């Protein structure tokens, strides 16, 4: 799979993903157009854009991991309440 990325500008600004001030660049790729992203946010979003179709999303994978954790805790007789 390939992804076309256009870098419009490089500098400092407010990241469109996190809302924090950071070094980064204004880019367009996939469904993101003229977004200022930090280097870390850019890397994460490109990874999501390039993931194979049908692979679980991050929230889905986290929920599945939590369900497995709860099942193991129950099997070991460990009870815990976690507020989110």
Nearest-angstrom CA–CA distance, 10 and 70 = 44
Between the CA of residue 43 and those of 27, 39, 67, what are the distances in Å? 12, 6, 28
pLDDT at 56: 62
Nearest-angstrom CA–CA distance, 63 and 17 = 22
Helical H segments across 1-84, by residue range:
39-50, 58-75
The answer to whether the predicted template modeling score (pTM) of the entire model surpasses 0.85 is no
Taking each continuous run of H as one helix and of E as one strand, the counts in the chain are 2, 3
Tens digits of residue pLDDT in 31-84: 889 999 999 999 998 888 887 776 666 555 555 655 555 555 455 454 444 444
The domain segmentation of the chain, as residue ranges, is: 5-75
- Say which residue the tokens 């419009």 belong to: 8
């Amino acid at each position: 799979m390939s992804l076309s990325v256009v870098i419009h500008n490089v500098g400092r600004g407010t990241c469109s993903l996190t809302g924090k001030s950071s070094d980064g660049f204004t880019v367009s790729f996939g469904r993101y157009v003229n977004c200022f992203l930090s280097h870390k946010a850019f890397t994460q979003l490109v990874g999501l854009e390039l993931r194979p179709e049908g692979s679980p999303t991050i929230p889905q994978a986290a929920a599945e991991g939590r369900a497995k954790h709860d099942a193991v805790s129950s099997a070991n007789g460990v009870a815990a309440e976690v507020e989110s």
